[in-house]
Protein backbone atom coordinates (compact mmCIF):
# COMPACT_ATOMS: atom_id res chain seq x y z
CA UNK A 1 0.00 0.00 0.00
CA UNK A 2 1.23 3.48 -0.77
CA UNK A 3 2.47 5.67 2.08
CA UNK A 4 -0.28 8.24 1.42
CA UNK A 5 -2.98 5.58 1.56
CA UNK A 6 -1.51 4.30 4.81
CA UNK A 7 -1.63 7.83 6.24
CA UNK A 8 -5.31 8.15 5.34
CA UNK A 9 -6.06 4.73 6.77
CA UNK A 10 -4.26 5.52 10.01
CA UNK A 11 -6.23 8.76 10.33
CA UNK A 12 -9.43 6.77 9.74
CA UNK A 13 -8.51 4.29 12.48
CA UNK A 14 -7.66 7.09 14.91
CA UNK A 15 -10.90 8.95 14.22
CA UNK A 16 -12.92 5.78 14.64
CA UNK A 17 -11.20 5.00 17.94
CA UNK A 18 -11.91 8.55 19.09
CA UNK A 19 -15.59 8.29 18.08
CA UNK A 20 -15.92 5.03 20.01
CA UNK A 21 -14.28 6.56 23.10
CA UNK A 22 -16.44 9.68 23.16
CA UNK A 23 -19.73 8.06 22.17
CA UNK A 24 -21.29 8.27 25.62
CA UNK A 25 -19.59 11.42 26.89
CA UNK A 26 -19.51 13.95 24.06
CA UNK A 27 -22.25 15.85 22.32
CA UNK A 28 -23.78 13.65 19.59
CA UNK A 29 -22.80 16.19 16.90
CA UNK A 30 -19.14 15.81 17.86
CA UNK A 31 -19.46 12.02 17.79
CA UNK A 32 -21.10 12.01 14.34
CA UNK A 33 -18.49 14.41 13.00
CA UNK A 34 -15.67 12.22 14.26
CA UNK A 35 -17.26 9.05 12.85
CA UNK A 36 -17.86 10.80 9.53
CA UNK A 37 -14.21 11.81 9.24
CA UNK A 38 -13.22 8.20 9.90
CA UNK A 39 -15.29 7.19 6.88
CA UNK A 40 -14.01 10.07 4.75
CA UNK A 41 -10.38 9.23 5.51
CA UNK A 42 -11.02 5.55 4.79
CA UNK A 43 -12.58 6.46 1.44
CA UNK A 44 -9.59 8.68 0.69
CA UNK A 45 -7.26 5.77 1.44
CA UNK A 46 -9.07 3.62 -1.11
CA UNK A 47 -9.07 6.40 -3.69
CA UNK A 48 -5.40 7.09 -3.08
CA UNK A 49 -4.59 3.48 -3.89
CA UNK A 50 -6.15 4.04 -7.29
CA UNK A 51 -4.21 7.28 -7.80
CA UNK A 52 -7.36 9.36 -7.35
CA UNK A 53 -8.07 12.39 -5.20
CA UNK A 54 -10.94 14.86 -4.90
CA UNK A 55 -10.75 18.41 -3.57
CA UNK A 56 -14.08 18.39 -1.72
CA UNK A 57 -16.03 16.04 0.49
CA UNK A 58 -18.79 15.76 -2.11
CA UNK A 59 -16.21 15.13 -4.79
CA UNK A 60 -14.69 12.37 -2.70
CA UNK A 61 -18.03 10.61 -2.34
CA UNK A 62 -18.88 11.01 -6.02
CA UNK A 63 -15.51 9.61 -7.07
CA UNK A 64 -15.71 6.83 -4.48
CA UNK A 65 -19.13 5.81 -5.78
CA UNK A 66 -17.94 5.83 -9.38
CA UNK A 67 -14.81 3.78 -8.71
CA UNK A 68 -15.92 1.39 -5.97
CA UNK A 69 -19.69 1.33 -5.50
CA UNK A 70 -21.00 1.39 -9.09
CA UNK A 71 -18.86 -1.58 -10.18
CA UNK A 72 -19.99 -3.53 -7.09
CA UNK A 73 -16.65 -3.55 -5.28
CA UNK A 74 -18.04 -1.78 -2.21
CA UNK A 75 -21.31 -2.14 -0.33
CA UNK A 76 -23.90 0.36 -1.53
CA UNK A 77 -25.57 0.64 1.89
CA UNK A 78 -22.31 1.49 3.65
CA UNK A 79 -21.59 4.12 1.02
CA UNK A 80 -25.07 5.59 1.51
CA UNK A 81 -24.53 5.63 5.28
CA UNK A 82 -21.34 7.65 4.83
CA UNK A 83 -23.19 10.20 2.69
CA UNK A 84 -25.93 10.38 5.31
CA UNK A 85 -23.31 10.97 8.00
CA UNK A 86 -22.00 13.86 5.91
CA UNK A 87 -25.46 15.42 5.80
CA UNK A 88 -26.08 14.88 9.52
CA UNK A 89 -22.67 16.34 10.36
CA UNK A 90 -23.36 19.41 8.22
CA UNK A 91 -26.79 19.95 9.79
CA UNK A 92 -25.26 19.70 13.25
CA UNK A 93 -22.37 22.01 12.39
CA UNK A 94 -24.09 24.60 10.21
CA UNK A 95 -27.83 24.44 10.82
CA UNK A 96 -27.97 24.01 14.60
CA UNK A 97 -29.84 20.74 14.05
CA UNK A 98 -27.70 18.24 15.95
CA UNK A 99 -28.28 14.50 15.87
CA UNK A 100 -29.45 12.62 18.92
CA UNK A 101 -27.52 9.97 20.85
CA UNK A 102 -29.17 7.11 18.94
CA UNK A 103 -28.07 8.59 15.61
CA UNK A 104 -24.56 9.05 16.95
CA UNK A 105 -24.43 5.36 17.88
CA UNK A 106 -25.70 4.39 14.43
CA UNK A 107 -22.95 6.37 12.71
CA UNK A 108 -20.18 5.06 14.96
CA UNK A 109 -21.31 1.50 14.26
CA UNK A 110 -21.53 2.35 10.57
CA UNK A 111 -18.04 3.85 10.58
CA UNK A 112 -16.76 0.64 12.17
CA UNK A 113 -18.30 -1.41 9.37
CA UNK A 114 -17.17 1.08 6.71
CA UNK A 115 -13.55 0.98 7.85
CA UNK A 116 -13.58 -2.84 8.01
CA UNK A 117 -14.91 -2.97 4.45
CA UNK A 118 -12.20 -0.58 3.24
CA UNK A 119 -9.52 -2.63 4.99
CA UNK A 120 -10.84 -5.75 3.26
CA UNK A 121 -10.75 -3.93 -0.07
CA UNK A 122 -7.19 -2.66 0.20
CA UNK A 123 -3.99 -4.68 0.06
CA UNK A 124 -1.81 -5.10 3.13
CA UNK A 125 -4.24 -3.62 5.65
CA UNK A 126 -3.92 -6.19 8.36
CA UNK A 127 -3.50 -5.40 12.03
CA UNK A 128 -1.59 -2.10 12.24
CA UNK A 129 0.10 -3.37 15.41
CA UNK A 130 1.32 -6.55 13.80
CA UNK A 131 5.07 -7.16 13.56
CA UNK A 132 4.79 -9.31 10.42
What's the gap between Cα 52 and its chain centre? 17
pLDDT surpasses 70 at 113? yes
What is the pLDDT confidence band of residue 130, given thresholds at 50, 70 and 90?
very low
Higher-scoring residue by pLDDT: 92, 39: 39
State the first-to-last Cα distance of the chain, in angstroms, to the nearest integer: 15
Tens digits of residue pLDDT in 63-110: 999 999 999 999 999 999 999 999 999 999 898 899 999 999 999 999
Tens digits of residue pLDDT in 41-70: 999 999 999 999 999 999 999 999 999 999
Is-contact 3 118, C-beta < 8 A?
no
SS3 100: coil
Q: Which helix (H) or strand (E) holds 50?
A: none
Q: Count other C-beta atoms under 10 Å from residue 61's C-beta.
A: 20
Structural domains of the chain sorted by starting position, each given as residue range(s) with its CATH number in brackets: 3-121 (1.20.120.330)
Amino acid sequence: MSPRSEEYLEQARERLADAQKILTVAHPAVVVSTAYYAMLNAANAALSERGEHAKTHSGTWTLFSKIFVAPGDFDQELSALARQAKEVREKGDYDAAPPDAKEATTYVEGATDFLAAIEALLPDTGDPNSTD
